[in-house]
A and B are shown apart, each in its own frame.
Chain A
Amino acid sequence: MGIFTKTVSAIRKGLARTREALFGGLSALLSGKTLSNDLIDEIEEYLIKADVGVKATNAIIDELRQAFESGEVQKGEDAIEFLKNHLKSRFKQMDRSIAKSSTPGMPTVILVAGINGAGKTTSVAKIAKSLRDEGRTVLLAAADTFRAGAVAQLEIWAQRLGVDLVKGEQGSDPAAVAYDATEAALARGVDVLLIDTAGRLHTQKNLMEQLTKIRRVVTKKIPDAPHEVLLVLDATNGQVAITYAQEFRQAIDVTGIFLAKLDGTAKGGIVLAIQDALDIPVKLVGVGETPEDVEPFDPESFIDAMFEG
């Protein structure tokens, strides 16, 4: 059973622009028209420009072309329906809930990592707020001891949300902070421990090793922890996201993706590219600046939302 029980509601809000820009455009493009090879080329361009990626786009377009040539899909409206069903079928059945400690009385540990500027700290604040609002006790660990002001940033969030925080000095060992925080979580008997780590690029080998170490010390204290390892991924990133997601998976065994900044700048196509290339489920999406702006990810409603005009 998942820990994050918030219901799917306002995902449409964040995707308003996606809908308008991508599939709104597609609807306009396809409505009332007869499908042709040229029109399929235009759909292909739409998908590429929405960051769906060359591979996933090719796969989608090939199927559509086949359906067109066999006469199965003729009208623009049929194509919309076809794409909708096809996109839904690309998402495998995966557990998209946030995992929970299975040992009664033991805290659930969520480790959050990502590249620089992806939105880790804001995402941590969002998760903390949702959990707090559900009546769970939350402890935050500020294990970003590298970036100037990172601890202070999380500290302000902790104050605003009224949750506890364990922090280290700037420049100290982040693994030590994670260790202390895990001990504190056990001692205080909190429900959830959220560990925020420093941003790092997948090309920085030593920093990736440091992340592995953070994971290791947590496991040392609580054998089945961390229960959830979330990679915060910037939705405005291009196909390079797939490369770094793979690197992070190797370093810390990522169990889910928090897709941040889905509002405004991204058409969300990267969700499809990631789904195609990786076996990591997108679990949460960030759709704004305030701590309320977080939603569980549900492929069905994501795609429905995309198509609703």
Chain B
Amino acid sequence: MFENLSDRFNAAFRNLSGRGRISEDNVQEAMREVRTALLEADVHLDVVKDFCDQVVKEAMGAEVTQSLKPGQEMIGIVHQKLIELMGPVEPGVMFVDPGPTIIMMCGLQGSGKTTTCGKIAAYLKTRGKNVMVVAADLQRPAAVEQLKVVTEQVEAEARGNATVSFYGEPDKCAEYGQAVGVAVGVCQRALKEARANKTDVLILDTAGRLHINDDLMKELEGINRSIKPQQIYLVVDSMIGQDAVNSAKAFNERLEIDGVILTKFDSDTRGGAALSVKQVTGAPIKFIGTGERFEALEEFHPERMAGRILGMGDVVSLVEKAQEEVSEEEAEAMAAKMAEGKLTMDDFLKQLKSIRRMGPMKQLLGMLPGVGSALKNVEVDDKQLDRLEGIVHSMTKPEREDVKLLTRSRVKRVAKGSGSQPADVNKLTKQFDMMSKMTQQMSSMGPGGKMKAIRELQRTDPNLVPGLKGMPGIGSARGSTKTKSIKSSFKKRKKGK
């Protein structure tokens, strides 16, 4: 998401690292590059100017540590300044007792309020909160219907035992401008029902509006006065330009927003809004939306985001994602099996599925240090994982327990059943075999030994992670930007022998 920016930053400072010391001249030169990069990434001009001035000031005052090159020193300063620019922020939702905690969502048209309501509801459901979502958008045709469908989907599919319910009065909708103010009453009745139901959190989905539309802004103020939401979130499209950021400021002036939710973050290879919003509005970013599915919502952490911008990756978020998917008991049970070398194909399938629930492979890999910009032009094909799943699904139960049962004719059957080639099946079982041996060894090693074993494993088979070949630093074909299918890479290896 920040590939563009981190590349430009690194290029600017790489030139610097060739020189002996930080001087006014070479810093200014590097910062000119940074300035253009930030502006092209849609960071607001005032923010850019402030930021660059501060970095230069800091850099001039800094004593270059002996061990660091000037380029590294500069990256360190920029990293710190980025964190200050975006933070501090208390991530997550604050709850009041007694409930319900009321959250009001507002923003411009098309910023993604309704989708985000579903995401917040899902986020709260997995945290054991009973949620009621209120359709307070009576302007846009079918907005009530949309929220209802979204809510039902979250209730049915999101993890957690809490309930997510919907409140709406579709008969109150009217043509644009005809139903202004009606939303206040809808919210009041929803609050009454929420109290009766002992709802923990009430989320109000308001209509999109321009900050200069006085009637509609008054409606928001009306809801604010009569319902008194504890938290007001402004939903902001992460692709907004220089001028639109000012609208966020206007919303804040009228409503004192508590936080910003940046949407469509997966779209954006630059992410300038993430840098502008705090300084322009004064309100911190609370969450970022990273996809269309309702799970695609992340808490915002300035230090992690700064790391991503500079291409340092975000391992902490990756680990958290993993923890959300796999419970500690599950992980321990799996580790025990590994230690005994009793890993089955079913376990493999389970792991594969948890990884896939965490998000698209490219997004996950982008969180590893240095991988983001390397992946920029690489197509990571999630479909190859589908094929692997297909192969395992075509095996019988006993075969999954013990892959050694797979004779030539069984392999043929599995290949036919999964629409793949026998070679693909053999390759998977071979890799699996190797992996379980390796994990068994690793379980009895210290951390240093583990890393060595992983490197060893990669050397013996660079295609262990499917769909990743050609990625510099992981596969063997350094610099290649094309991913090859399992089939073609298999052929190539055979030829080489």
Binding site for B on A (CB under 8 A): 17, 21, 45, 48-51, 53-54, 115-119, 147-150, 152-153, 155-157, 160, 170, 201-203, 205, 234, 236-241, 243-244, 261, 263-267, 269-270, 289-290
A160 touches B175 (CB 8 A): yes
A157 touches B176 (CB 8 A): no
For chain B, residues 205 to 245, give those with C-beta under 8 angstroms from any C-beta of chain A. 210-213, 237, 239-244
A51 touches B267 (CB 8 A): no
A148 touches B153 (CB 8 A): yes
Which secondary structure dominates where chain B touches chain A? loop
> Bound state CA distance, A265 and B250, in angstroms?
11
Which secondary structure dominates where chain A touches chain B? loop
The contact of B247 among A203, A265, A269, by CB within 8 Å, is A265
Q: Which residues of A contact B243 (CB under 8 A)?
A: 21, 49-51, 236, 265-267, 269
B150 within 8 A of A: yes
For chain B, residues 151 to 184, give those with C-beta under 8 angstroms from any C-beta of chain A. 153, 175-177
Asked whether A153 and B264 contact (CB < 8 A) given A50-B243, A239-B241, the answer is: no
Contact string against A for B residues 256-292, beta-carbon threshold 8 Å, 1 for contact and 0 otherwise: 0000000110111110110000000000000000001
B112 within 8 A of A: yes
Asked whether A289 and B141 contact (CB < 8 A) given A50-B242, A119-B110, A265-B243, the answer is: no
Shortest distance from the beta carbon of B277 to any chain A beta carbon, whole Å: 13
Residue among B210, B239, B244 facing the most chain A CB atoms (10 A cut-off):
B239
A201 touches B142 (CB 8 A): no
B111 touches A149 (CB 8 A): no
> Bound state CA distance, A3 and B175, in angstroms?
28
6 closest pairs, A vs B, by CB? A149-B146, A117-B110, A238-B42, A238-B241, A148-B149, A152-B142
B141 touches A203 (CB 8 A): no
Known: A116-B292, A155-B142, A264-B212. 4 other contacts (CB 8 A): A117-B112, A149-B144, A153-B140, A266-B244
> Bound state CA distance, A83 and B176, in angstroms?
38
Q: Which residues of A contact B45 (CB under 8 A)?
A: 45, 48-49
B15 within 8 A of A: no
The contact of B142 among A45, A156, A264, by CB within 8 Å, is A156
B28 within 8 A of A: no
> Bound state CA distance, A269 and B243, in angstroms?
9
B146 touches A117 (CB 8 A): no
Shortest distance from the beta carbon of A194 to any chain B beta carbon, whole Å: 16
The contact of B244 among A170, A236, A243, by CB within 8 Å, is A236
B269 touches A243 (CB 8 A): yes
> Bound state CA distance, A170 and B42, in angstroms?
35
B264 touches A265 (CB 8 A): no
* Band of interface residues on B: 35 or more
B145 touches A148 (CB 8 A): yes
A239 touches B42 (CB 8 A): yes
A265 touches B42 (CB 8 A): no
Q: Which residues of A contact B41 (CB under 8 A)?
A: 239
B109 within 8 A of A: yes
Residue of A with least CB distance to B150: A148
A289 touches B177 (CB 8 A): yes
Residue of B with least CB distance to A160: B175
B24 within 8 A of A: no
Asked whether A237 and B109 contact (CB < 8 A) given A48-B45, A153-B142, the answer is: no
A54 touches B241 (CB 8 A): no
> Bound state CA distance, A203 and B3, in angstroms?
13
Shortest distance from the beta carbon of A209 to any chain B beta carbon, whole Å: 12
> Bound state CA distance, A51 and B379, in angstroms?
31
Residue of A with least CB distance to B144: A149
Shortest distance from the beta carbon of A177 to any chain B beta carbon, whole Å: 17
> Bound state CA distance, A237 and B267, in angstroms?
12
> Bound state CA distance, A261 and B108, in angstroms?
10
Residue of B with least CB distance to A157: B141
> Bound state CA distance, A243 and B42, in angstroms?
12
B36 within 8 A of A: yes
> Bound state CA distance, A17 and B39, in angstroms?
23
The contact of A54 among B39, B145, B264, B273, by CB within 8 Å, is B39
B40 within 8 A of A: yes
A152 touches B241 (CB 8 A): no
Asked whether A239 and B40 contact (CB < 8 A) given A153-B140, A153-B141, A290-B176, the answer is: yes
Q: Which residues of A contact B273 (CB under 8 A)?
A: 238
A116 touches B269 (CB 8 A): no
Q: Which residues of A contact B108 (CB under 8 A)?
A: 236, 261, 265
B143 within 8 A of A: yes
Contact string against A for B residues 39-79, beta-carbon threshold 8 Å, 1 for contact and 0 otherwise: 11110110000000000000000000000000000000000
Residue of A with least CB distance to B362: A203
> Bound state CA distance, A290 and B140, in angstroms?
11
Q: Which residues of A contact B140 (CB under 8 A)?
A: 153
A150 touches B175 (CB 8 A): no
Q: Which residues of B contact A202 (CB under 8 A)?
A: 267
Q: Which residues of A contact B176 (CB under 8 A)?
A: 289-290
Residue among A156, A267, A289 facing the most chain B CB atoms (10 A cut-off):
A289
B267 touches A203 (CB 8 A): yes
> Bound state CA distance, A269 and B210, in angstroms?
18
**19 A–B pairs (Cβ distance < 8 Å), ordered by A:** A49-B242, A116-B110, A116-B264, A117-B237, A117-B264, A118-B110, A148-B149, A149-B142, A149-B143, A149-B145, A149-B149, A153-B145, A201-B266, A203-B267, A236-B240, A236-B247, A265-B210, A265-B211, A267-B242
Q: Which residues of A contact B145 (CB under 8 A)?
A: 148-149, 152-153
Q: Which residues of A contact B109 (CB under 8 A)?
A: 117, 119, 261, 289
> Bound state CA distance, A152 and B111, in angstroms?
20
B212 touches A48 (CB 8 A): no
B268 touches A205 (CB 8 A): no
Asked whether A241 and B239 contact (CB < 8 A) given A117-B112, A147-B146, A149-B146, the answer is: yes
Q: Which residues of A contact B269 (CB under 8 A)?
A: 203, 240, 243
